[in-house]
Amino acid sequence: MKKRFSMVLALAMVFVLVMSTAVLAEGNEPEDAISNVLEVNVNVAGEDTGGTIAVNDDLAEKIVAGLWDVFSVSTTPPDNEEALSVKGKVVVVGEGDPAGFKLEYLEQDTSSENYGKFLPMNFDGGAAYFGPSGGFPWVKVEHSVFRVTWKEAGEYTFNIYIVDANNDEVLAETEGVTVQVMETGQAINLKHAYTDEIEVENGEPQIPGGLPILDGGSLTINPNIDQTFGYWVKAELEAGFSHVDGVRYVFEVTKGSSDVIAVEDLEIKYFEKQADYDVRTLGLTKEDGKLTGVFGPAQGFTFYGGDGEQLLPGIPGVESPVVTPFKVKFNTEGEYNVRIYAIQVEPVPALNTPVAE
């Protein structure tokens, strides 16, 4: 009897094992598993093909009231979608008042009668649009060019959008673009020094190791008539400024207290870096008893600092700090006063900028 019971028990265990194996097989579990089976469902998304808009790195985030800044915006439409009619939209958020600045965009459509002009963006309720009122095709653009002129100090924060021209639906956005505008102060610090001569090696002027300490105040020089000496100007961006556009140097020369100064009284020469350091004469004009000369390209240069060069194509730039040598000679005896300072000139739009792909 005991033997028969053992046989029945053995058959029952075999039956149970067979049934368990069948259940595992139905769930595709591995045969050698000694635990439950965990499952993870993974849905891998493809590359984000949504549209984008972003301000490039050429916007100055710190600047002084009264200055302008040319900057650019890039945008990319979504993939695999028919052409959309869109507009650009700029919204002022926070405490910034649209009356504290003037914002313009550069018309880059060659078929427009306003091609090459900066056109104003008029704010209404803190928002302004750019582009035709009926919208424009959304295409990939690397450099949509803008100019902002800061009128009043303050902190200004902007959100920038691409919106559907028909219903103002936001299609792409970049938020929290902030600029700190200082009430007063200087963006560039100038210092100067002089040497008896300027050494040139392989056509390039050399900064001498014994250059006197550059000073930001007054400097007294006592040359002889027809003696050429070296005059050095060092320019450096103040802390916190990324760049300043449209910079030129102004030289103002007066002689004694009379109106007897003449253009022939002195010569100021500089080294034209873009022309293999050819020596050029700075043009001087006489007006109101003084001579005035302006150094730098007609559109000015972008004076920048930071980790890298961020410039709009077509605008030359120099990196802060920069030391510029001049060769100076006085041809007539007398006591002269020379004032040198930096100015910002009106921008010349970089119309050679590729605007679409």
CA 347 to chain centre: 14
Given the candidates 1.10.730.10, 2.30.30.280, 3.30.43.10, 2.60.40.2550, the CATH classification of the domain at 52-182 is 2.60.40.2550
**Is the Cβ–Cβ distance between 190 and 247 less than 8 Å?**
no
Query: CB within 8 A of 44, min separation 6: which ones?
Result: none
Residues 281-321: tens digit of each pLDDT: 999 999 988 999 999 888 888 888 755 555 454 456 788 88
Q: pTM here? A: 0.74
Q: Element (H or E) spanning 4, and its range? A: helix 2-26
Beta partners for 286?
Answer: 291
Residues 37-59: tens digit of each pLDDT: 767 787 664 454 578 999 988 89
Kindly state the tokens that stand for 280.
């050029």
Query: CB within 8 A of 48, min separation 6: which ones?
Result: none
Residues 59-85: tens digit of each pLDDT: 999 999 999 999 999 999 987 665 778
Residues 83-110: tens digit of each pLDDT: 778 999 999 998 889 999 999 999 888 8
Is a pLDDT exceeding 80 seen at residue 279?
Answer: yes
Cis? peptide before 120, omega within 30° of 0: no
Spans of all domains in the chain: 52-182, 188-344
Q: Helix or strand or coil: residue 156?
A: strand
Residue of 77, 82, 246, 256 lying closest to 171 (CA atoms): 77
Rounded alpha-carbon distances, angstroms, from residue 249 to 103, 172, 300, 342, 345: 26, 41, 9, 5, 10
